[in-house]
């Protein structure tokens, strides 16, 4: 029995649930805001992908909508130039660390990055910034799950479900800075982790860095 | 209860009076050596041992005591001698070898060896006071007042020097009175951001939660900043008292001191201080019979710069990965283990004891309108008298650098040949980098900026933790920005995309520019990325990471432009853009100082016995320029790298360069 609040996004009146994040309210009502790290199940947002910026009336700088709780009468814009320049910068930076070889990718056509590029009319490849790729080896040690850490966008969804939801504690963020990646504690292969093959990481991965092995792709 | 507190404290004070007798001109000779980390790296422990041996050898009746750091790096190891009949005298640079002579001259032969003295500690009629020198006289020491003056491991020395009087005073009043006093003082967080301290305190106090915590952030990580370490190593009880007061004010029973593990001596001293305070009933249950329960645990960080950010620090304390959390909620609402938590810096908490003892009014008697009190800077770089400097807020940068710091030292070429005079080349000030990797480089035109939170922010720098690195005309501003960004890239936790990837792209562009591979559009890209990283990052480390680039672009844009357009590094620092050459008109046949100094055998002897440099082999180490005798001064440094003037050819061997090498030396 949560109360409804009325908010306005891009001039549209929207009934949102009290306590809900602005991002969820928008998505639930058909307003697209790009995002990678947000998970509906999560109580406190990760706020690390920096893609869901919106501009709020009365707030000088754009804010991330995942970390903004809706308030009665809130007025937000998703399409202002200030929002767009931040989101496009975040996307451009992210894409310099992600190999764009979609045809060879198990996530092709199911990929959040392709979706963002299409809906926001962004280019997948930066025209001016060089690529910074990790070139890490594929982890095919697990019987059902393949893991390509090169494709990982560090959204942390898999880390959240594995640790907080399933409590398998097989994977976490390891290393820091540009070397940061999702991996097994100590750097070993997935098969030697405490993975229980629940496949939740595969389900939540927006870019299919974690993917289910098939006969065609991997053995 | 008030009487109980006073009674217990009086007993402690009596004990303190007897323990610390002789600290100020007693009947006994007292010798102190500053043996904090900085003193130790200058050889203070060896000096200490030499002094002890000399005292024993000469059968002198003297007490030798280890004290903390005085903050005068240029004079380490620093020794003080108080001898009855004489004022206490500070001696600077007393090395192991010098120490026995000092002891013998002064304590046996009655010669105070003033040639090694910095001066007397107090005004007197025999020895000039150190306070006549601006390095001492220009400072106003409050936080640093006890540093180097007491035995940091002896709680009674602290009590004898006014310690714990603040806690006693406030225990007799109320927690609200403590917050009011802090509010009245106008104290702002000295960890960098300058947030009003009382606001944090009253937010934690206002919460009805049963469990609350106080955390001291001692994860000092800025390159060039070491004031928190010095305070902990030299006056740890001020911090413990400040935390106890904070615990009392906000209603917390437990405190943590989060010290970086790169500070082993600080960890040792604060742990021993916490144990002493517990032993004397100044930590634990029913402190001073007041009913207050408060205890402190010392926790070591694991070496991540980002853990100096308060939410990352809390994550690390909880045993999680040290990455920042989204704020709000702020730690004052939901901090350690979800409980309201007060996070303050070492200096802020140490200052709390001072304010409680001396009062808010005295605190606010110096400073500017919105930044009250004093501030401690760690003065480093191209400066005559580096070290810790405490000045009232609002002192100008010029006064700190040129008056107290003594200005920029010249480059000295010592005499190498018989009868040769050393050559001194004066160096001009170029910039001062304030606030570490989150701060900025300010040029000469801003030297009259007062140092306070708001003026520095307006200029593009930040107070930060108080690191102040002075740079002269030999420092390249692009290279300086590259250095700080390299630091941030290495220390970024990796959580959010702007800091993880954006700063790396900025660093790559800077590296290209310093290599002479910069393109015209690079500056626009840099500026644009800097703007986005600043606005888009999750935590303050990311938001402030572009500051070194933004300020150097703002104040030293011409240096960037000459790197890109002319491939010239005006400071002649960027390796790829410079070259060394030997002016044959000045080079002397009989000398081969440069040949011997070159680590890569790049310098060879021509058939006319003059010397030349093989540019292919040169690694630009600067050794030859230093080795060339002052009276010849034949080695030159130029930028761009192809600006070497044409030299007269080597007649006997054309193309001597490829034939160059050791075999030519035989001639």
B541 and B611 part of one domain = no
B521 and B598 part of one domain = no
Residue A91, pLDDT score: 97
Residue B13 lies in a domain: no
> What CATH number is given to the structural domain containing B472?
3.10.20.600
Query: Measuring CA to CA, how many Å separate B304 from each of A182, B226, B249, B260, B324?
Result: 19, 16, 31, 8, 12
Residue B347 lies in a domain: yes
Residue A218, pLDDT score: 57
Restricting to B residues 592-631, those with a Cβ less than 8 Å away from any Cβ of A are none
Closest partner residue to A178 among B321, B504, B525, by Cβ? Answer: B504
B562 and B589 part of one domain = no
> What CATH number is given to the structural domain containing B620?
3.30.70.20
Residue B511 lies in a domain: yes
Closest partner residue to A50 among B490, B498, B521, by Cβ? Answer: B498
Are B155 and B273 in contact, with CB atoms under 8 Å apart? yes
User: Is residue B32 helix, strand or coil?
Assistant: strand
Beta pairing partners, B429: B472
Chain B neighbors of A129, CB-CB under 8 A: 505, 525
Chain A neighbors of B528, CB-CB under 8 A: 89
How many residues belong to chain A?
219
Restricting to B residues 526-555, those with a Cβ less than 8 Å away from any Cβ of A are 528-529, 532, 535-538
- Distance from the B498 Cα atom to the nearest Cα atom in chain A, whole angstroms: 6
Nearest to A35 by CA among A60, A13, A59, A67: A67
Is the pLDDT confidence value at B652 over 70? no
B255 and B328 part of one domain = yes
B415 and B330 part of one domain = no
- Distance from the A196 Cα atom to the nearest Cα atom in chain B, whole angstroms: 22
Confidence class for position B25, pLDDT limits 50, 70, 90? low
- Distance from the A85 Cα atom to the nearest Cα atom in chain B, whole angstroms: 8
Beta carbons of A173 and B502 less than 8 Å apart: no
Mean pLDDT of B1-10: 87
B616 and B488 part of one domain = no
Beta carbons of A177 and B493 less than 8 Å apart: yes
Residue B163 lies in a domain: yes
Closest partner residue to B536 among A90, A97, A132, by Cβ? Answer: A90
* pTM as predicted: 0.92
Residue B656, pLDDT score: 45
The secondary element (H helix, E strand) that includes residue B159 is: helix B155-160
* Chain centroid to CA B334: 32
Confidence class for position B422, pLDDT limits 50, 70, 90? confident
Residue B47 lies in a domain: yes
Of the two residues B658 and B421, the one the predictor is more confident about is B421
Interface test with A, best of B314, B494, B504, B527 (most A CBs within 10 A): B494
- Distance from the A214 Cα atom to the nearest Cα atom in chain B, whole angstroms: 31
Are B286 and B278 in contact, with CB atoms under 8 Å apart? no
Residue B664, pLDDT score: 36
Is the pLDDT confidence value at B247 over 60? yes
Chain B neighbors of A62, CB-CB under 8 A: 535
Is the pLDDT confidence value at B375 over 70? yes
Interatomic CA distance for residues A160 and B448, integer angstroms: 51
Beta carbons of B321 and A86 less than 8 Å apart: no
B237 and B313 part of one domain = yes
Closest chain B residue to the Cα of A44, Cα to Cα: B326
Are B298 and B267 in contact, with CB atoms under 8 Å apart? yes
Beta carbons of A154 and B497 less than 8 Å apart: yes
Chain A neighbors of B498, CB-CB under 8 A: 50, 89-90, 93
Beta carbons of B504 and A132 less than 8 Å apart: yes
B415 and B557 part of one domain = yes
Domain edge (last residue) among B352, B382, B409: B352
B480 and B524 part of one domain = yes
Residue B653, pLDDT score: 58
Closest chain A residue to the Cα of B498, Cα to Cα: A90
Closest partner residue to B497 among A45, A94, A128, by Cβ? Answer: A94
Q: Does B302 touch chain A (CB under 8 A)?
A: no
- Distance from the B450 Cα atom to the nearest Cα atom in chain A, whole angstroms: 28
- Distance from the B263 Cα atom to the nearest Cα atom in chain A, whole angstroms: 22
Q: Does B497 touch chain A (CB under 8 A)?
A: yes
Chain A neighbors of B492, CB-CB under 8 A: 176-178
In chain B, how many domains are there?
4
Query: Measuring CA to CA, how many Å separate B129 from each of A212, B140, B390?
Result: 78, 16, 19
Closest partner residue to A90 among B491, B498, B528, by Cβ? Answer: B498
Domain edge (last residue) among B566, B589, B605: B566
Beta carbons of A47 and B496 less than 8 Å apart: yes
Interatomic CA distance for residues B647 and B458, integer angstroms: 51
B348 and B384 part of one domain = no
Closest partner residue to B497 among A45, A50, A61, by Cβ? Answer: A50
B130 and B166 part of one domain = no
Is the pLDDT confidence value at B659 over 50? no
* Cα dihedral sign, B5-B142-B136-B128: negative
Over the stretch B98-151, which tens digit does the pLDDT of each residue have? Answer: 999 999 999 999 999 999 999 999 899 999 999 999 999 999 999 999 999 999
Q: Domain range for residue B432? A: 374-566
Is the pLDDT confidence value at B665 over 70? no
Chain B neighbors of A177, CB-CB under 8 A: 489-494, 500, 504
Interface contacts (A, B; CB < 8 Å): 90
Residue B121 lies in a domain: yes
Residue B462, pLDDT score: 87
Instruction: Report angle CA B189, B192, B195 to the nearest 5 degrees.
Output: 40
Over the stretch B323-336, which tens digit does the pLDDT of each residue have? Answer: 999 888 899 999 99
Residue A7, pLDDT score: 96
Q: Does A132 touch chain B (CB under 8 A)?
A: yes
Residue B521, pLDDT score: 94
Residue B303, pLDDT score: 83
Chain B neighbors of A53, CB-CB under 8 A: 536
Chain A neighbors of B306, CB-CB under 8 A: 176
Beta carbons of A85 and B500 less than 8 Å apart: no
> What CATH number is given to the structural domain containing B100?
3.40.30.10
Chain A neighbors of B325, CB-CB under 8 A: 44
Instruction: Report angle CA B443, B448, B449 to the nearest 5 degrees.
Output: 80
**Below-70 pLDDT ranges, chain A:** 1-2, 216-219
Q: Does A29 touch chain B (CB under 8 A)?
A: no
Closest partner residue to A177 among B490, B528, B538, by Cβ? Answer: B490
Interatomic CA distance for residues B597 and B623, integer angstroms: 6
Over the stretch B276-333, which tens digit does the pLDDT of each residue have? Answer: 999 999 999 999 999 999 999 999 998 889 999 999 999 999 999 999 998 888 999 9
Report ipTM (2 d.p.). Answer: 0.95
User: Is residue A9 helix, strand or coil?
Assistant: strand
Nearest to B659 by CA among B617, B630, B626, B619: B617
> What CATH number is given to the structural domain containing B227?
3.40.50.11540
Chain A neighbors of B537, CB-CB under 8 A: 50
Closest partner residue to B494 among A61, A62, A177, by Cβ? Answer: A177
Interface test with B, best of A87, A90, A113, A163 (most B CBs within 10 A): A90
B298 and B410 part of one domain = no
Beta carbons of A176 and B537 less than 8 Å apart: no
DSSP B448-486: T-B-SHHHHHHHT---TT-EEEEEETTS-HHHHHHHHHH
Residue B141 lies in a domain: no
Closest partner residue to A93 among B306, B494, B502, by Cβ? Answer: B502
Residue A156 has, within 13 A of its CA and on its CB side, a CA count of: 23
Beta carbons of A96 and B495 less than 8 Å apart: no
Lowest mean pLDDT among A210-219, B171-180, B215-224, B381-390: A210-219
Which runs of consecutive H residues, i.e. helices, occur in B537-597? 540-544, 547-555, 557-561, 593-597
Interface test with B, best of A48, A53, A169 (most B CBs within 10 A): A48
Residue B2 lies in a domain: no
DSSP A94-121: HHTTS---GGG-TTTTS-HHHHHHHHHT
Residue B522, pLDDT score: 96
Are A96 and A130 in contact, with CB atoms under 8 Å apart? yes
Is the pLDDT confidence value at B535 over 90? yes
Beta carbons of B326 and A94 less than 8 Å apart: no
Interface test with B, best of A35, A50, A86 (most B CBs within 10 A): A50
Over the stretch B407-420, which tens digit does the pLDDT of each residue have? Answer: 999 999 888 888 88
Beta carbons of B494 and A154 less than 8 Å apart: yes
Interatomic CA distance for residues B465 and B220, integer angstroms: 8
Restricting to A residues 40-99, those with a Cβ less than 8 Å away from any Cβ of B are 44-50, 53, 61-62, 67, 85-86, 89-90, 93-94, 96-97
Nearest to B464 by CA among B495, B433, B504, B502: B433
Domain edge (last residue) among B545, B566, B587: B566
Number of other residues whose CB lies within 10 A of the CB of residue A82: 15
Interatomic CA distance for residues A183 and A136, integer angstroms: 11
């Amino acid at each position: 029995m949560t109360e409804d609040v009325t908010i306005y996004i891009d001039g549209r009146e929207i009934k949102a649930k009290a306590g809900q994040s602005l991002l969820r309210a928008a998505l639930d009502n058909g307003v697209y805001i790009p995002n990678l790290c947000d998970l509906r199940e999560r109580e406190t947002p990760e706020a690390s992908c920096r893609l869901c910026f919106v501009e709020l009336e009365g707030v000088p700088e754009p804010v991330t909508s995942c970390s903004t709780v809706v308030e009665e009468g809130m007025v937000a814009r998703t399409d202002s130039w200030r929002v767009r320049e931040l989101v496009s910068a975040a996307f451009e930076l992210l894409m310099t660390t992600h190999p764009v070889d979609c045809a060879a990718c198990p996530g092709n056509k199911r990929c959040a990055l392709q979706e963002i590029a299409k809906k926001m009319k962004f280019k997948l490849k930066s025209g001016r910034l060089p690529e910074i790729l990790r070139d890490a080896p594929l982890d095919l040690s697990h019987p059902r799950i393949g893991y390509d850490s090169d494709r990982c966008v560090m959204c942390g969804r898999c880390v959240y479900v594995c640790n907080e939801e399933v409590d398998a504690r097989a994977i976490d963020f390891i290393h820091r800075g540009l070397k940061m990646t999702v991996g097994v504690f100590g750097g070993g292969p997935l098969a030697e982790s405490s993975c229980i093959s629940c496949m939740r990481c595969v389900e939540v991965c927006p870019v299919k860095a974690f993917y289910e092995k098939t006969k065609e792709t991997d053995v | 209860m008030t009487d109980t507190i006073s009674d217990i404290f009086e007993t402690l004070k009596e004990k303190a009076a007897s323990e610390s007798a002789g600290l100020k001109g007693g009947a006994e000779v007292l010798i102190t050596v500053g043996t904090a980390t900085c003193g130790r790296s200058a050889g203070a422990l060896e000096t200490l041992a030499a002094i002890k041996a000399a005292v024993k050898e000469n059968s002198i009746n003297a007490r030798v005591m280890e004290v903390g750091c005085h903050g005068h790096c240029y004079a380490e190891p620093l020794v003080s001698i108080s001898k009855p009949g004489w004022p206490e005298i500070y001696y600077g640079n007393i090395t192991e070898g010098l120490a026995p002579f000092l002891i013998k001259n002064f304590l046996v032969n009655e010669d105070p060896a003033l040639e090694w003295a910095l001066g007397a500690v107090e005004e007197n009629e025999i020895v000039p006071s150190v306070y006549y020198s601006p390095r001492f006289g220009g400072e106003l020491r409050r936080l640093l007042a006890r540093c180097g003056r007491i035995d940091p491991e002896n709680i009674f020395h602290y009590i004898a020097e006014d310690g714990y009087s603040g806690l006693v005073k406030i225990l007799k009043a109320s927690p609200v009175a403590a917050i009011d006093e802090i509010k009245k003082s106008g104290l702002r967080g000295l960890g960098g951001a300058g947030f009003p301290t009382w606001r944090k305190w009253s937010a934690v106090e206002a919460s009805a939660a049963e469990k609350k915590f106080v955390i001291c952030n001692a994860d000092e990580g800025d390159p060039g900043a070491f004031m928190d370490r010095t305070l902990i190593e030299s006056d740890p009880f001020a911090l413990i008292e400040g935390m106890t007061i904070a615990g009392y004010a906000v209603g917390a029973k437990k405190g943590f001191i989060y010290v970086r593990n790169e500070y082993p001596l600080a960890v040792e001293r604060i742990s021993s201080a916490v144990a002493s305070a517990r032993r004397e009933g100044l930590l634990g249950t029913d402190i001073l019979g007041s009913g207050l329960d408060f205890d402190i645990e010392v926790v070591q960080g694991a070496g991540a710069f980002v853990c100096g950010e308060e939410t990352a620090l809390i994550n690390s304390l909880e045993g999680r990965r040290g990455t920042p959390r989204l704020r709000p909620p702020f730690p004052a609402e939901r901090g350690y283990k979800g409980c309201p938590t007060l996070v303050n810096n070492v200096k802020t908490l140490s200052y709390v004891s001072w304010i409680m003892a001396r009062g808010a009014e005295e605190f606010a008697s110096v400073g500017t309108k919105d930044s009250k009190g004093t501030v401690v800077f760690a003065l480093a770089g191209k400066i005559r008298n580096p070290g810790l400097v405490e000045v009232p807020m609002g002192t100008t940068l010029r006064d700190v650098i040129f008056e107290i710091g003594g200005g920029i030292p010249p480059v000295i070429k010592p005499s190498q040949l018989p009868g040769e005079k050393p050559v001194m080349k004066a160096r001009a000030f170029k910039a001062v980098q304030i606030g570490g990797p989150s701060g900025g480089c300010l040029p000469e035109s801003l030297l009259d900026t007062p140092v306070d939170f708001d003026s520095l922010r307006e200029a593009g720098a930040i107070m930060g933790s108080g690191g102040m690195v002075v740079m002269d005309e030999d420092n390249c501003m692009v290279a300086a920005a590259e250095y700080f960004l390299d630091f941030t890239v290495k220390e970024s936790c990796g959580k959010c995309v702007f800091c993880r990837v954006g700063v790396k792209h900025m660093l790559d562009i800077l590296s290209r520019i310093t290599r002479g591979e910069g393109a015209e559009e690079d500056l626009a890209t840099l500026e644009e990325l800097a703007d986005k990283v600043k606005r888009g990052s999750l935590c303050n480390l990311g938001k402030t990471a572009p500051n070194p680039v933004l300020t150097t672009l703002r104040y030293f844009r011409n240096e960037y432009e000459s790197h890109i357009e002319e491939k010239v590094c005006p400071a002649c620092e960027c390796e790829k853009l410079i070259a060394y050459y030997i002016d044959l008109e000045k080079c002397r046949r009989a000398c081969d100082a440069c040949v011997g100094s070159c680590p890569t055998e790049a310098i060879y002897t021509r058939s006319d016995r003059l010397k030349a440099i093989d540019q292919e082999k040169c690694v630009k180490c600067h050794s030859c320029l230093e080795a060339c005798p002052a009276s010849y001064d034949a080695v030159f440094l130029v930028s761009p790298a192809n600006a070497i003037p044409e030299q007269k050819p080597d007649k006997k061997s054309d193309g001597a360069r490829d034939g160059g090498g050791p075999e030519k030396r035989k001639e």
